[in-house]
Structure 1
Amino acid sequence: MDLLSQLNEQQRAAVTSADGPLLILAGAGSGKTRVIAHRIAYLITERGIWPRNILAVTFTNKAAEEMRNRVNKILAGLELGSVPLISTFHSLCVRVLRRDIEALNAGYSRSFTIYDQDDTVRLTRNCLRDLGLDDKQLAPRSVQAAISAAKNRGEDAESYTARAQFIDERRASIARVFQLYEERLHKNNALDFDDLLIKAVRLLRDVPEVRERYNDRFRYLLVDEYQDTNQLQFALIRLLTEWQQNICVVGDPDQSIYRWRGADIKNILKFEEHFPSAKVIRLEENYRSTQNILDVASGVIKHNVERKEKALWTQNPPGERIRYYQALDAESEARFVAGKIQEHVSVEPDLRAAVLYRTN
């Protein structure tokens, strides 16, 4: 099986650097999904790693499905006996908890219910009502978002309440809701999405035999979009790599856009501190854009303080020069944007256009 002939030099290095910690800094459009899929296939076909000993985690079901499809296509026709686990963080945690949550001795059974966002907002609304709080002053959705943000920071209801007493009345009210919200989740044998990570981390941290089982099971770990991981996900990764450090993370600090939901860019910036023997490979050849676009993007992003240096380049033509338009007001800006869309659509009727803006 020829896995490497269609890869560039940096991609081949990323695929074949099998053992030990590896940070792949993958610029936009540099083929990172291809590299992850080929790396999984390389471990199986060239290194003889049993597929069930490989774990790849990412953030969305769509990304996980795309990765599975690519790996299956590469390995089509081979008799493997097992398959690598390619999963989202939350799906991985569900798998762990469905088997072992009772080992926490925290009053949960393996038949626990998972509350989605609608369920958690409904529960929050009921808690507000039963505490006699005005859901006009404290919107259920914003209260639930505050609870979720606290959980992602590693705060439980008690620590959130302790801090709330010294801040303001609104936060103190949210703390009361948080406590009742947690009590009712527990009473209903239910977990919200944040709990899936929290309980899985607690389980692996506090129950050595469970941690040992998963360290033995997953000998090679790959993490996509590493720049978007939060502290809970980082803790999960560290617990799963306690025995061995065959961990490959793929990401780009320049594409970190989820700090508002708890992502911690320091996870990728300090990877070499967390894993001192780490190797770093940069994927810098871009297959998506023209050089003019890359030059402008690089010229802007270089002013970021927290980043790792890389130089994106492409074999594509230079392309049109980037134009900058400064409107006098919002209305003239809207007319300009609408006019440009009409101009492009008149040439390409099936063109799909996107308008990006900073805030709602």
Structure 2
Amino acid sequence: MVTLNPNQQMAVEHVEGPLLVLAGAGSGKTRVVTHRIAHLLELGVLPSDILAVTFTNKAAEEMKSRIRVLKNAQVLACTFHSLGARILRESIHLLGYKNDFTIYDQEDSEKLLKACMQQLSLGDDKGTLRTLKGQISAAKNDLATESEAEEKNGSAFSRIFSLYQAKLKECNALDFDDLLYLPVKLLKEQENARTMYQNRWTFVLIDEYQDTNAAQYTLARMLVEKHQNLFAVGDPDQSIYSWRGAKYQNILNFEKDFPGAKVVALEENYRSTNRILETANALIAHNADRYEKKLWSHLGEGAKVGVFMAQSERQEAQFVVDQMLERVAQNHLSLNDIAIFYRTNAQSRIFEDALLAKKISYVIIGGLSFYQSREIKDFLAFLRMVVSD
């Protein structure tokens, strides 16, 4: 193995049995996953026996690309929803659907739900519609029983849920959440199908395990039930999706779910200096439920971490821009060497205003500049027209 630290190599060379890789931020987890797959292939495991599950299509494509570079092999790397669709395309007829089902987008599914609401005299206002759609989505992702869903959402919920599912089936259609909900239902109810898929993939790798919801977790557990060769990668300290049903307890319970499982912690960080990591370690140590680990780096101590408590958003943005200009003047940096990170896209405007006031050019990455959004451009064009008149 090349360019792997001892703990990375330990994880890569693990073959049989369940393994949990606690991958701290910037610890090279993608390299570990791809090299582990390459190691399995070197041992003679067929590419078709390996399943790698990620949370985004981008991550799946990156993983496949890296595996092709390492071993020129085609391994199934996909998202949970893509995996669910693949299973259902083959076997959904066992649930009474046709295999050429349609996947409804949000507009189609909301249109169908609205018709169900009208049929049950529940009204059709947009607020109620969105609330019910969210409740249905949560019930499917949580694999809630009818009584659990009723207790949480009220007595009318089971009627609307049952009618909505029946109407979807009439149309031979699924909504996005069915791509997780129905594969679990299929494998629970159809023993032959469950056995077939358990035999298909001998080795299963799952990335971002801390972000799995109940449906994803249950699907994974059923797929690995026979061989127990689950290679789970994640970090409970990085769980940020509980608001959409993710259960970080899934990763904390790994050793209970898989007695005898091995745990390897990746603590060497390749992105940050030690002062940043020490600050992060000190903060995250206050989390009550976590695996103990401490990130460190070979990149040196680095500059001290500074904190500025601004009195307003404008003061914060002005401070950031002033710090940028000061560093450019003192440290011979280029503005191209500097990035500003903010938590939500809505915060970009205040920083854009501060940058524009200093005539500093900038580029918004992964989003749209406030002043480039369609409605703002239209409004500014209208104002220019008024001023010119």
Structure 1 and Structure 2 fold alike (TM over 0.5)? yes
2:86 paired with 1:85: no
* Distance apart, 1:177 and its partner CA: 4.3
CA contact (8 A) 1:185 1:191 kept: yes
C-alpha separation in 2, matches of 1:180 and 1:345: 63
What SS does the aligned partner of 2:263 have?
strand
Shift of 1:184: 2.0
Moved more, 119-128 or 279-288: 119-128
- State how far apart, in whole Å, the 2-side matches of 1:177 and 1:348 are: 59
Report the more deviating stretch, 145-154 or 15-24. 145-154
Q: Distance in 1 between matches of 2:273 and 2:177?
A: 40
Residue aligning to 1:169 = none
Count of aligned pairs between the two proteins: 342
Instruction: Specify every segment of 5 or more residues in structure 1 that has no aligned partner in the other structure, as ranges.
Output: 167-171
| Alignment CA distance shift 1:342-1:117 (3 Å) | farther
- Contact residue 158 and residue 179 of structure 1 kept, 8 A: no
1:186 aligns with 2:164: no
Deviations 1:312-339 (A, max 9, x none): 1100022111111112234433433454
| Residue number in structure 2 paired with 1:356 | 343
TM-score by length of 1: 0.88
Q: d(CA) in 2 for partners of 1:128 and 1:135?
A: 9
Q: Which gives a bigger RCO, structure 1 or 2 (Cα 8 Å, sep 6+)?
A: 1
Conserved? CA contact 2:324–2:335, under 8 Å: no
How far does residue 6 in structure 1 lie from its aligned partner after superposition? 1.3
> How big is the shift at 1:343?
5.7
Alpha-carbon distance change, 63 to 182 in structure 1, aligned in 2, over 3 angstroms: same
Cα distance in structure 1, aligned partners of 2:170 and 2:265 = 49
Q: Where does structure 1 differ by over 6 angstroms across 4 or more consecutive aligned residues?
A: none
Q: Contact conserved, 1:44 with 1:50, CA < 8 A, in 2?
A: yes
Does the CA contact (< 8 Å) of 1:157 and 1:179 recur in 2?
Answer: no
Partner of 1:13: 10
- Tell me the TM-score normalised to structure 2 length: 0.81
- After TM superposition, the structure 1 = structure 2 runs for residues 309-324 of structure 1, keeping only pairs within 5 Å, are 309-324=292-307
Aligned pairs (5 A) from 1:124-163:
124-128=113-117, 131=121, 133-138=123-128, 140-155=129-144, 159-161=148-150, 163=152
Alignment root-mean-square deviation, CA: 2.4
User: How many percent of aligned residue pairs carry the same amino acid?
Assistant: 47
Partner SS, residue 103 of structure 2: strand
Paired residues of 2:114 and 2:124 also in contact (CA < 8 A): no
Give the structure with the larger helix fraction. 2
Distance 1:230 1:321 in 2: 38
Cα distance in 2 for partners of 1:359, 1:149 equals 26
How far 1:149 sits from its partner (Å)? 1.4
What is the DSSP-based 3-state SS (H/G/I as helix, E as strand, rest coil) of the residue aligned with 1:248? strand
Asked whether the 8 Å contact 1:58–1:224 carries over to 2, the reply is yes
- Please list, as runs of the form range in 1=range in 2, the aligned pairs for 1:68-79 lying within 5 A after superposition: 68-76=64-72
Q: Distance in 2 between matches of 1:151 and 1:203?
A: 14
Q: Map 1:247-258 to 2 at 5 A.
A: 247-258=230-241
* Further displaced range: 150-159 or 309-318: 150-159
Q: Secondary structure at the match of 1:282?
A: strand
- Give distance in 1, aligned partners of 2:239 and 2:344: 17
Shift of 1:5: 2.1
Mapped contact 1:128–1:135 kept (Cα < 8 A): no
Name the CA shift for 1:147/1:345 in 2 (closer, same or farther; >3 Å).
farther
Aligned partners of 1:342, 1:185: CA distance in 2, in Å?
Answer: 58
Deviation of 1:141 after TM superposition, in Å, equals: 3.3
Distance 1:132 1:276, change over 3 A: closer
Cα pair 1:290 1:316 within 8 Å, conserved: yes
Contact 2:50 2:76 in 1 (8 A): yes
Check whether the contact 1:152–1:194 (CA below 8 A) recurs between aligned residues.
yes
Residue 154 of structure 1 deviates from its aligned partner by: 1.2
1:39 aligns with 2:39: no
Q: Secondary structure at the match of 1:43?
A: helix
Are the aligned partners of 1:29 and 1:288 in contact in 2 as well (CA < 8 Å)? yes
Deviation per residue, 1:290-331 (Å, 9 max, x gap): 111111111111000111011111000221111111122344
1:24: how far off?
Answer: 0.4
Equivalence map 1:325-336=2 (5 Å): 325-336=308-319
The one-character-per-residue Cα deviations of 1:100-129 (angstroms, maximum 9, x if unpaired) are: 11122xx31101111123332333344445
Residue pair 1:341, 1:353 contacting (<8 A) in 2 also: no
Q: Which moved more, 1:249-258 or 1:205-214?
A: 205-214
In 2, the alpha carbon distance for the partners of 1:303 and 1:163 equals 31
Distance 1:68 1:147 in 2: 33
Tell whether 2:226 aligns with 1:240.
Answer: no
For 1:151 and 1:5, how far apart are their aligned partners in 2? 43
Q: Does 1:48 align with 2:37?
A: no
Cα drift, residue 180 of structure 1: 3.6
Q: Which residue identity lines up with residue 144 of structure 1 in the other structure?
A: K
**What is the CA-CA distance between 1:234 and the residue it aligns to?**
1.3
1:62 aligns with 2:58: yes
Structure 1 letter corresponding to 2:23: A
Deviation at 1:159, TM superposition (A): 5.0
The aligned residue for residue 112 of structure 1 is 101
Checking the alignment, whether the CA contact within 8 Å between 2:53 and 2:80 is kept in structure 1 is yes
Q: Which has the larger radius of gyration?
A: 2
